[in-house]
Amino acid sequence: MSETTQRPRIDPTAIIEAGAQLSSDVTVGAYAYIGGRVTLGPGCAVSHHACIDGDTVAGQGNKFFPFCTIGSIPQDLKYRGGRCRLEIGDNNTFREYSSAHVGTEDGGGITRIGSDNLLMGGVHIAHDCIVGNHCVLANNVLLAGHCHINDWAVVSGGSALTHFVSVGRHAFIGGILAIVHDVPPYTMYGGEPPAVRGINRVGLKRRGFSAAVLGELKETYRMVYGRDLPAAVGIRQAREAYPHSEAVGELLDFIERSARGKSGRYLESLRSRNASDEAKAEGQRGEDD
């Protein structure tokens, strides 16, 4: 082996702007573009014609397939050109024509994608979204701004999530759906109209959940969704039946939180509250002037 310091393998037709920081074993294919504020960790592979721009930091082992567009400015008319960021963890796969944008000033300034996620062809992750770990977003899934996708969630092809939707851990969402409400953890969401249709038993069994936990979740679903009683009654009964179950507690907490949110979206209620506080502060400043 040569003692010469290893350098990134960069095709001569690729464009790497001054200031970009690439680990020594990064590979960059033909006609790819990497902007001057991009940082790529060890083992990242940028395919031909991929574009990574903006204030984007990616950890190790990420794969960027042809024609993906990562780190561009948001498609939000309220964006004012600030130095907002996109943070990417490790071992993610961005397939062809997928896109992920930096955050906005009003949304906290950061879009975050965790580790070990698969983003299939045409997936769009808008500004200020948070995607956890081990998630699968199938072909042409669209996330509007400020969505939160928690660990191990699966969203099937062609489904679109409106702004401020939260998806709980281990949830499974069917394909070709408009998602306008929060999706609770551990559940399957689909049908027409889209709604919670049961517990994600197959996914949970694959991830090692015990039969006992699956039984608790199934019975909780029956209590909350399967009877002609108010949901609050079922939630109370489930808490009494399974006071020590972490999974049941997580599911019930999520349902109650979303019910308090605007239009079934908890994060939407925070947006409205923040906007109201800002308006009051602006009015106070006007009076002081």
Q: Using the predicted structure, report yes or no on whether residue 271 has a pLDDT greater than 90.
A: no
SS3 annotation, 101-161: ECCCHHHCCEEEECCCCEECCCCEECCCCEECCCCEECCCCEECCCCEECCCCEECCCCEE
Kindly tell me if the per-residue pLDDT of 268 is higher than 50. Answer: yes
Strand partners, 21: 39
**Which residues are designated catalytic?**
127-128, 145
Amino acid of residue 46: V
pLDDT of 278 reads: 40
Class of the domain covering 1-146: mainly beta
pLDDT band at residue 228, thresholds of 50, 70 and 90? confident
Residues 6+ apart with CB under 8 A from 92: 58, 62, 63, 113, 114, 115, 116, 117, 118, 119
Half-sphere exposure in the Cβ direction for 105 (13 Å, CA) = 7
Contact 198, 180 (CB under 8 A): no
Average pLDDT value for the chain: 92
**Mean pLDDT across the stretch 155-163?**
98
pLDDT in tens, 57-110: 999 999 999 999 999 999 999 999 999 999 999 999 999 999 999 999 999 999
pTM, two decimals, is 0.91
Work out the angle at residue 150's Cα, subtended by the Cα atoms of residues 256 and 233, and round it to the nearest 5 degrees.
Answer: 20
Q: Is the pLDDT of residue 280 over 60?
A: no
Where in the chain are the domains? 1-146
72 strand-pairing partners:
101
